């Protein structure tokens, strides 16, 4: 359904390590391998969902794409340029086209700036508008995110969480970007407000032909909003496919366990289904297990999994899995879902 | 019939803040039977935590003030107990676990010492016995190599392990009631599933009653046999768990359930969303607190606040003037 569309973003073998320093002379003693060789594509107008447990590297992936973190290595091809290797001035220009919406609508807006200043700031910084033009554009943007344009002179603390997130969305849209990284845009919001923001993001996508990388830990919301979904574990992608393939026919044991852990708002479900309960915690990304990173919690791992690091392989068309136990000839397993 | 453990009547709690009086809990009544598992749901600020904290006299006074109500634990009103009496109830008979385990664990004391202290105090056992019991408890909640990990400090445990320690401590004196205030909200889904599974198993083994506070309708479905839905400091619906999901009666509950993404949705469908925002609590509402956001709203709803009344099947109660099945006033 999206195959005829153009690729807008191609991430290739992206790596971001955070050095760990110790001692008075701050000697480097190791590194947090937050993102450790991640590759994926996003097509024009598409939403790629990125899920995985806390600390698996979702935010770092999003930020490294935007060069808010300097990549350790790898490539980020966006509209024919490799963002990972642009000079600072070129990157500044490219940044007009790629924006980010942050998780925390409270922390991400400057409390001493009015809504007009917050939304207008990028336009001023890029010198593409001034005075009255900015006022008009701010009013238009507030309209777009369904906020009264009389709010322009107010300060962030006068708004609710959902309204603040709308302001964050308006700011991201100010430069007419084509690509937006949405880093947990709804996690900090009330349940009854989450649906409002998700609908807004979907409406805007249709209207403005936006492309999203949608990062979230709410797996059912990701299912709702995404065309394709990538599942991360300890700095790598373990499975990536169409939304339906991931949710209806997950092949990686981690994806299966993750999906099986989603709380379902239906008491009858729990009478009829047995959940896969994973044991233990996610290991430290400073010292990931040898071979397959998931093997320490995997119900089907064997000695082989400790020796060989699996790579993403295409199992069925467009469905990629990094697991030694899942091979293209395998019969598709019964899956609890 | 099972014995009633808790009987809370007309609880009202307010906070005095620079911006004015916050009417956090506005006349809440509920009961809890022996062995029962009650889920309390509602969005941020609706009064879930303050309700439970009030019952146990854990609300900071000032700024807080319990304005009215009773909270009977096995017939005795906890709200009129003196500090010694209530401390005995809290330590041994009713335990509470909180959302963020880091704030309730002492960062500069080893896990072993933190666990042993209340055991020695409430169970009157020796240090060595307390140590043994701590190891048992940690093993029960699934901490590997428990004996070796007693000397560790909280920061050396992962988030999921700290929450397990909190549960172990809460269970250490074999309480009759465990109140869990969003104990899994800060955790990942796989760890959340572990904790929910653990608490369910322990409930079966130990036969204690549970109150589980959360904003996640999925978690409630998995753990509760009865559910109270709170909004703006009121319980607006209360029901056996299956009926609540199959036939919700309050427009707010219906809205919450509808706004969840559907599992078996095929084509991209807009999410249902409730208009507007949760209420500010600076005035005690004279009318239905949900009226400004309600799709079924009638004139009556702006004039008088409905009380919880039984409708539908056994044990299903709702505070609403409108019969949602017909859209007309009852
Ligand atoms: N600036 C930083 N310096 C050092 N380590 C970092 C930094 N940012 C992230 N990390 C580490 O990198 C790993 C990945 O973190 P990241 O924030 O990308 O995870 P995440 O998947 O977004 O998690 P969450 O769901 O909790 O937001 C973690 O171990 C984290 O502690
Ligand atoms: N110490 C306090 N001082 C002033 N106001 C308070 C205090 N504690 C709670 N409140 C207010 O009381 C109301 C109810 O708060 P409560 O903590 O019970 O909400 P909750 O339902 O538990 O929400 P959450 O899901 O966010 O935990 C809120 O409006 C809150 O701001
Ligand atoms: Mg993150
Ligand atoms: Mg609370």
What tens digit of pLDDT does each residue of B254-264 get? 999 998 887 66
DSSP string for A92-128: HHHGGGEEEE-S-TTTSS-TTS-HHHHHHHHHHHTTS
Closest to A156 (Cα-Cα) out of A120, A194, A108: A108
Cα B213–B53–B241 angle (5° rounding)? 25
pLDDT band at A334 (very low <50, low <70, confident <90, very high): very low
Does residue A328 register a pLDDT over 60?
A: yes
In the predicted model, residues of chain B with pLDDT beneath 70 are 1, 100-102, 185-186, 263-268
Q: What does DSSP assign to residue A332?
A: P
Instruction: Kindly report the backbone phi and psi dihedral angles of residue A35, in degrees, each rounded to the nearest multiple of 5, phi listed first.
Output: -130, 125
Handedness of CA B40, B42, B44, B45 (dihedral sign): negative
The helix or strand, by DSSP H or E, that contains position B160, with its residue range, turns out to be helix B159-171
HSE toward the beta carbon, residue A269, CA cutoff 13 A: 21
DSSP string for B46-80: SSHHHHHHHHTT-S-TTTEEEEEEEEEETTEEGGG
Does residue A311 register a pLDDT over 50?
A: yes
A220/B197 touch (CB, cutoff 8 Å), yes or no: no
The answer to whether B210 touches B223, Cβ cutoff 8 Å, is yes
The answer to whether B83 touches B74, Cβ cutoff 8 Å, is no
Q: Report which listed range, A20-34, A69-83, B105-119, is most confident.
A: A69-83
Q: What is the pLDDT of residue A43?
A: 96
Cβ-based neighbours of A168, under 8 Å, separated by 6 or more? A101, A102, A105, A108, A109, A185
Give bridge partners of residue B20 from the DSSP assignment.
Answer: B17
Interface test with A, best of B261, B272, B275 (most A CBs within 10 A): B261
A142-186 residue pLDDT tens: 988 888 888 888 898 888 778 888 899 999 998 889 999 999 888
Q: Which of helix, strand or coil describes residue A272?
A: helix
A182-233 residue pLDDT tens: 998 888 777 888 888 899 999 999 999 999 999 998 888 899 999 999 999 9
Give the residue, by CA position, lying nearest to ligand 1 atom 31: A55
pLDDT band at A336 (very low <50, low <70, confident <90, very high): very low
Which residues on chain A are in Cβ contact (under 8 Å) with B221? 263-267, 269-270
Provide the ipTM.
0.80
Nearest CA-CA distance, residue A54 and chain B, Å: 6
Query: Is 0.90 topped by the overall pTM?
Result: no
B259/A263 touch (CB, cutoff 8 Å), yes or no: no
Instruction: Locate the ligand 2 atom nearest the alpha carbon of residue B16 and give its number.
Output: 4
Joined tokens for residue B251? 């427009």
B305-322 residue pLDDT tens: 999 999 877 889 999 999
Q: Which domains does chain A have, with CATH numbers?
A: 7-112+155-321 (3.40.50.300)
Instruction: Locate the ligand 2 atom nearest the alpha carbon of residue B50 and give its number.
Output: 18
Q: For residue B233, which ligand has an atom nearest its CA? A: 2
Give the residue, by CA position, lying nearest to ligand 2 atom 16: B47
Does residue A1 register a pLDDT over 50?
A: no
Collect residues with CB below 5 Å from ion ligand 4: B 49
Which residues on chain B are in Cβ contact (under 8 Å) with A223? 261, 263
Give the residue, by CA position, lying nearest to ligand 2 atom 3: B15
Nearest CA-CA distance, residue A200 and chain B, Å: 10
Q: What is the pLDDT of residue A335?
A: 45
Strands A47-51 and A228-233: parallel
The helix or strand, by DSSP H or E, that contains position B219, with its residue range, turns out to be helix B217-223
Closest to A258 (Cα-Cα) out of B192, B22, B172, B60: B192
Q: What is the pLDDT of residue B265?
A: 55
> Percent of chain A scored above 70 by pLDDT?
96
Closest to B252 (Cα-Cα) out of A191, A147, A188: A191
Q: What residues are in contact with ligand 2 under a 6 Å CB criterion? A: B 15, 17, 22, 24, 42, 44-50, 60, 63-64, 215, 281
The answer to whether A223 touches B269, Cβ cutoff 8 Å, is no
């Amino acid at each position: 359904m999206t195959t005829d569309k153009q690729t807008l973003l191609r991430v290739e073998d992206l790596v971001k390590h955070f050095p760990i320093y110790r001692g008075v002379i701050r000697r480097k003693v190791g590194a947090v391998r937050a993102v450790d060789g991640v590759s994926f594509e996003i097509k024009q107008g598409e939403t790629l969902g990125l899920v995985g447990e806390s600390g698996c590297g979702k935010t770092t992936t999003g930020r490294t794409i935007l060069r808010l973190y300097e990549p350790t290595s790898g490539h980020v091809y966006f509209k024919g340029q490799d963002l990972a290797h642009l000079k600072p001035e070129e990157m500044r220009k490219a940044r007009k086209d790629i924006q980010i919406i942050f998780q925390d609508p409270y922390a991400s807006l400057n409390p001493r700036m009015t809504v007009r200043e917050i939304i207008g700031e990028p336009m001023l910084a890029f010198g593409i508008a001034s005075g009255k033009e900015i006022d008009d554009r701010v009013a238009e943007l507030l309209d777009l995110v369904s906020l009264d344009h009389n709010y322009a002179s107010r300060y962030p603390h006068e708004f609710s969480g959902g309204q603040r997130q709308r302001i964050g969305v308006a700011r991201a849209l100010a430069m007419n970007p084509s690509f937006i990284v949405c880093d947990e845009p709804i996690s900090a919001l009330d349940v009854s407000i989450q649906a409002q923001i998700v609908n807004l993001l979907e409406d805007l996508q249709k209207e403005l032909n936006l492309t999203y990388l949608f990062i979230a830990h709410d797996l059912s919301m990701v299912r709702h909003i995404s065309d394709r979904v990538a599942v991360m574990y300890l700095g790598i992608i373990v499975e990536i496919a169409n939304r339906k393939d991931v949710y209806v026919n997950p092949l990686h044991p981690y994806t299966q366990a993750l999906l099986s852990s989603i709380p379902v708002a239906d008491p009858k479900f729990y009478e009829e289904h047995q959940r896969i309960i994973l044991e233990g915690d996610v290991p430290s990304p400073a010292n990931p297990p040898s071979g397959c990173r998931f093997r320490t919690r995997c119900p089907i791992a064997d000695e082989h999994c400790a020796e060989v690091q699996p790579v993403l392989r295409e199992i069925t068309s467009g469905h990629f899995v990094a697991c030694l136990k899942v091979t293209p000839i395998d019969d598709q397993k019964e899956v609890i879902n | 019939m099972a014995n009633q453990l808790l009987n809370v009547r007309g609880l009202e709690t307010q906070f005095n803040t620079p911006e004015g009086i916050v009417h956090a809990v506005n006349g809440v009544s509920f009961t809890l039977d022996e062995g029962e598992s009650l889920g309390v749901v509602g969005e941020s600020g609706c009064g879930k935590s303050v309700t439970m904290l009030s019952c146990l006299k854990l609300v900071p006074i000032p700024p807080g003030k319990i304005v009215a109500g009773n909270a009977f634990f096995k017939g005795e009103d906890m709200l009129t107990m003196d500090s010694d009496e209530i401390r005995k109830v809290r330590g041994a008979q009713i335990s509470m676990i909180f959302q963020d385990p880091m704030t309730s664990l002492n960062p500069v004391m080893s896990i072993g010492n933190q666990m042993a202290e209340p055991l020695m105090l409430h169970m009157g056992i020796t240090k060595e016995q307390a140590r043994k019991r701590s190891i048992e408890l940690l093993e029960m909640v699934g901490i590997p190599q428990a004996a070796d990990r007693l000397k560790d400090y909280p920061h050396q445990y992962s988030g999921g392990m700290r929450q397990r320690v909190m549960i172990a401590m809460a269970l250490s004196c074999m309480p009759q009631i465990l109140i869990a205030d969003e104990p899994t909200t800060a955790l990942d889904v796989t760890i959340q599933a572990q904790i929910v599974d653990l608490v369910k198993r322990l409930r079966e083994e130990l036969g204690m009653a549970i109150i589980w506070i959360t904003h996640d309708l999925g978690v409630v479905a998995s753990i509760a046999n009865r559910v109270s839905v709170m909004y703006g400091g009121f319980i607006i619906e209360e029901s056996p768990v299956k009926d609540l999901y199959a036939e919700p009666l309050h427009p707010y509950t219906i809205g919450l359930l509808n706004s969840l993404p559907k599992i078996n949705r095929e084509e991209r469908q807009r999410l249902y969303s409730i208009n507007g925002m949760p209420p500010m609590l600076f005035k005690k509402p004279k009318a239905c607190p949900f009226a400004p956001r309600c799709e079924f709203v009638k004139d009556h709803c702006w004039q008088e606040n409905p009380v919880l009344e039984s409708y539908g099947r056994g044990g299903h109660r709702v505070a609403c003037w409108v019969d949602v099945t017909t859209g007309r006033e009852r």
